[in-house]
Amino acid sequence: MTDTTFASPRAGKRGSSGRASRIALRVGLYAVLIVFAIWYLLPLFVMLTTSLKSLDEIRTGSLVALPRDVTFEAWRTAWSGACSGIKCEGLKPYMWNSVLIAVPGVALSTLIGALNGYVFAQWTFKGANLLFALLLFGCFIPFQVVLLPMARMLGLLGMAGTIPGLILVHTVYGLGFTTLFFRNYYVTIPYELVRAAKIDGAGFFRIFWSIFLPLSLPIIVVTVIWQFTQIWNDFLFGVSFSQSGTQPVTVALNNIVNSTTGVKEYNVDMAAAIIAALPTLLVYVVAGKYFIRGLTAGSVKG
């Protein structure tokens, strides 16, 4: 005798309606995400299209319309300058200033932050918690509060208005964040590794260079991206502690945008803003996924 099982028509209808609901929910979710993405990317689209238009087309055309005749004259003016027009100096020399400030600043703050995090995570000493709390407190001090003391210190050191002075400022101000990143990552590394290394005769720096630093690639990527973005996008320190010839690209961008004496050259302003933002944008495009991995790498201990 054979048992035959018949599916209930009502159960089939419930299954079909459930699938239809899930599909509708997914379509609605994607629609909402697309709307938010368009809204978020619209300013970048307007900047890019405006930088490729002539001034006459900007005056007569629509803000969100594609350029009728693509021209890169605004980009050349933003990069090299045009002393015969309104803008007299481009971003070219200031981009190199920002590179000279950002690269050593990132390297120094990352290295010192790694050493600090290593000490706070694996080498306990009296007052360590208080010192770490003070470093964290420094992360929340507004930039404006430290301007006068920092200017006074740079003057005493003979570094006022110089690129090394700006490197020092960004290194010191970034230590709180870099120490926090490395400390939270290093507490996930078992202390047994340190103990075994000590038994084998390894010292403080040997343990750091041979054990901790090779395991630090994820958090190093996080720190480099964070510090590079903070230093490259900084305007307040750059305008306060630099002078002619040592100004970073953000200060030069502000000078270009505000140097209008006649017709406002929106295409040059937009091109200059994109050029100034390209390095950080490229960093996030290339290493963005590693940034997320590095942030979550030290979130679970053990």
* pLDDT, tens only, 144-156: 888 899 999 999 9
pTM, to two decimals: 0.82
Question: Which has more pLDDT, 5 or 184?
Answer: 184
Tokens of 289: 């996924």
All residues at 6 or more sequence positions from 27 whose CB lies less than 8 Å from its CB, including other chains: none
Q: How far apart are CA 45 and CA 39, in angstroms?
A: 10
Q: Which long-range contacts (CB under 8 A, 24 or more apart) does 123-130 make?
A: 123/204
Q: How far apart are CA 253 and CA 90, in angstroms?
A: 9
What is the band of 282 on the pLDDT scale with cuts at 50, 70, 90?
confident
Domains of the chain by start residue, with CATH: 9-71 (no CATH), 92-297 (1.10.3720.10)
CA distances from 151 to 148, 175, 217 (A): 5, 18, 35
User: Roughly how many angstroms between the first and final C-alpha of the chain, as a whole number?
Assistant: 59
Average pLDDT of span 17-44: 89
All residues at 6 or more sequence positions from 93 whose CB lies less than 8 Å from its CB, including other chains: none
Among 79, 111, 84, CA closest to 96: 79
Residue 37 has pLDDT above 90, yes or no: yes
Q: How far apart are CA 139 and CA 22, in angstroms?
A: 45
Question: Which has more pLDDT, 150 or 300?
Answer: 150
* pLDDT one-digit tens code per residue, 109-143: 999 999 999 999 888 788 888 888 888 888 888 88
Question: What pLDDT shows up at residue 302?
Answer: 43
Q: For the ranges 81-90, 170-179, 261-270, 285-294, which has the lowest average pLDDT?
A: 81-90
Give the Cβ contact number of residue 242 at 10 Å.
21
Residue 255 has pLDDT above 50, yes or no: yes
Tokens of 77: 């003016």
Residue 88 is classified by DSSP as -
